[in-house]
Structure 1
Amino acid sequence: MIARAIGTVCGAGYLRPAPGTWGSAAALPLAYGVHLLGGVAALGIATLIVFAAGWWATAQMTAGQADHDPSEIVVDEVAGQWIALFPLSYAASTRGIDILDMWPGWVAGFVLFRLFDIWKPWLVGWADRRGDALGVMLDDVIAGLFAAVGVLVLAGVAHGVLMR
């Protein structure tokens, strides 16, 4: 019961179509709330907690099942999406910026994370092919890292090149 609530992010994983996208969308207001509570440090700690809880919940939900990554498990999207938003939370925390003022970064983080999560390039695909609960979580963590780098690059282009 608890594993299912965690794994499906309180039922968001049952939304159709595209439960992974729904899970990523659910992660956005949660990230905002965590950021408001304690900035990038709180988001980092919360991400570690979500990762650990998600790993446990995924292992519980898939025990004895042929499908190691059922579509209703979306807690991995929350962890990955939060990582994609780290650059925004960091900038807001260190520069006194309202994190909502960086809305293009939210859009970029969401789109890039979904792209890397669906496409599964390089290390994302490697983690996904592990075929276990850790791989379910890791592929989204890596996709989140790739997306965070993309957010940084796009911010650099927007603020360093386009704003001149």
Structure 2
Amino acid sequence: MGLVHRLISTCLGIGYTPKGGGSLAAALCCIVWYFAWPGGNEHFRNGVFQVLVTAFILVIGAWSAGKMEREWGEDSYRIVIDEIAGMSLTLCFVPHRWQYMVIGFLLFRFFDIAKPLGIRKMEGLGGGWGVMMDDMLAGVYSSLLLQIVVLIKPW
């Protein structure tokens, strides 16, 4: 079971990247999110399905991150499933445009790294939930700003 938690928490090994693993995981999430839509995939375009996928990533990520924290220490750089969850939340309900993916990525990384507006406090939850929830709040802020960009419709 330890191997399963390692694979989940590191997103199939991305977390072992010595520098920038979180950014790499978020960027790959954007790419997967973008390419999941073409070809008439109505299920993935459905916002409810996007939220369900994000919730699944959150729950399984909290479980695995909690297990791996015991081995690797508190909020180890190797745990990047939280970036996948937060980035997924950022992209929910966003039109299929690469420009929105890039803006969402930049917003999410800003909030995830700077941790303003109570984001850092979420780490205080401890365990897997503490690992995940700061990125989820970063995703909420990023999503709100990204939805404003979408409403302006620059593309």
Scaled by the length of structure 1, what TM-score is found?
Answer: 0.82
CA 26–18 in structure 1, closer or farther in 2 if over 3 Å, else same:
same
CA contact (8 A) 1:79 1:140 kept: yes
CA contact (8 A) 1:80 1:140 kept: yes
Q: CA deviation at 1:64?
A: 5.8
Q: CA RMSD in A?
A: 1.9
- 2:151 pairs with 149, 153, 156, which one? 156
- Percent of pairs identical after alignment? 28
Name the counterpart of 1:24. 26
Greater radius of gyration (CA): 1
Q: CA deviation at 1:73?
A: 0.4
Scaled by the length of structure 2, what TM-score is found?
Answer: 0.86
Cα separation, 1, equivalents of 2:126 and 2:88 = 23
Name the counterpart of 1:61. 68
- 1:50 pairs with 57, 79, 87, which one? 57
Q: Which moved more, 1:4-13 or 1:41-50?
A: 41-50
- Describe how 1:1-164 pairs up with structure 2 within 5 A: 1-35=3-37, 36=41, 37-39=43-45, 40-63=47-70, 67-88=73-94, 92=95, 99=96, 102-157=97-152, 159=153
Q: CA deviation at 1:33?
A: 4.8
Cα separation, 2, equivalents of 1:44 and 1:33 = 17
Secondary structure at the counterpart of residue 23 of structure 1: helix
Which blocks of at least 5 consecutive residues in structure 2 are unaligned? none
Name the counterpart of 1:95. none
CA contact (8 A) 2:10 2:80 kept: yes
Q: CA deviation at 1:34?
A: 4.7
CA 46–34 in structure 1, closer or farther in 2 if over 3 Å, else same:
farther
